[in-house]
Amino acid sequence: DVVFKFMMEDEKVAKLFLSAIIGEKVVALDFSTQEHTIRRTKIEKKSKRKQKEKETEETGICFTVCRLDFSAQIELSDGTFKTIVIELQKAKLPSDIMRFRRYLGFHYQNPRNVYGEKGEKAREIYCIYILGYDIGVPNKAIIYVPPAPQEAMTKEEVEEFSEFIQSTHHRSWIVQMPQLKKRHKNDLEKIMSIFDQENRTKNHHILNVHEEEFPEEYRSIIRRLRMASESEDIQTEMEMEDDYIQELQDKERLIEEQAEAIKKKDKSLEEKDKAIEEKDKTIEEQAKIIEELKKTIG
């Protein structure tokens, strides 16, 4: 996330990257609305800069969700322009879904995302989700979710422009990074493959990517990433992020183990209750037999 943020701070690269995803030409970006959802943590780690392996405490900024918001001007096919809101979120954990909803709600009610003389018109919202996990849709690396309205009875698509529909619905692009395979269907999948974690070298911060394998117009993205790999500050932040992610994974693993232990305990108790119930039933049946025998003998 630290490197991704560094990449998107370059306006030329950010415009290239966003244009490729939404399929429309981004001609201008307003970085003043850019926000980052971050979590601060104190990390105990061995400093690589010290000759002695001394424990040092550093206060770092680590991401669980990387969120970048832009006010973007895009050029339409007819040569006209419109300004939209682009919300880009990059997440590692499926548990981040509720955060996505909160951020989206923030944009819908944000008074800055309007235009018109009296601010009576709402800007269209584009949502981009770059996910480090699968969402249950196999063999589809990049999914486009349009706000495609239909007539309720006939299911016929409504082609007419409606400001109401545009203002109250949004379009989304979902990128499932694990679904990016070696064979790419189009330029967009090729570009996103830059971040394919299967290309990692022994140093897992470095991806084995060859610039000449990508279209010329997108090679500036790779050059920007190369700059990040050469920055000592970025390297340090990556190490801190690794430590934090490892801590999160350890906690998740512990929670899963505890949940599994509770599940087994509940199952064991359930089996014991069932055995007791069966035993009580047997005793009851035996008591009935004894009662019947008494009646017969008497």
Residue 241 has a pLDDT of 66
Residue 42 has a pLDDT of 41
Residue 46 has a pLDDT of 44
pTM, to two decimals: 0.65
- What is the CB-side half-sphere exposure of residue 229 using CA atoms within 13 A? 15
Contact 19, 29 (CB under 8 A): no
pLDDT tens for each residue of the chain, 298 residues long? 777 888 888 888 899 999 999 999 999 998 754 444 444 444 344 444 444 333 333 334 344 557 888 889 999 888 899 999 998 888 776 667 777 888 888 888 888 888 877 777 888 899 999 888 888 898 888 999 998 888 999 989 898 888 888 888 899 999 988 887 766 777 788 788 777 666 665 555 566 677 777 778 888 888 887 777 776 777 676 666 666 666 766 777 788 888 888 888 888 888 888 888 888 888 888 888 888 887 777 6
| Sheet strand arrangement including 81-91 | 25-30, 65-75, 81-91, 125-131, 171-176, 142-145
Q: Are strands 114-115 and 81-91 parallel, antiparallel or unpaired?
A: unpaired
Residue 73 has a pLDDT of 92
Contact 218, 36 (CB under 8 A): no
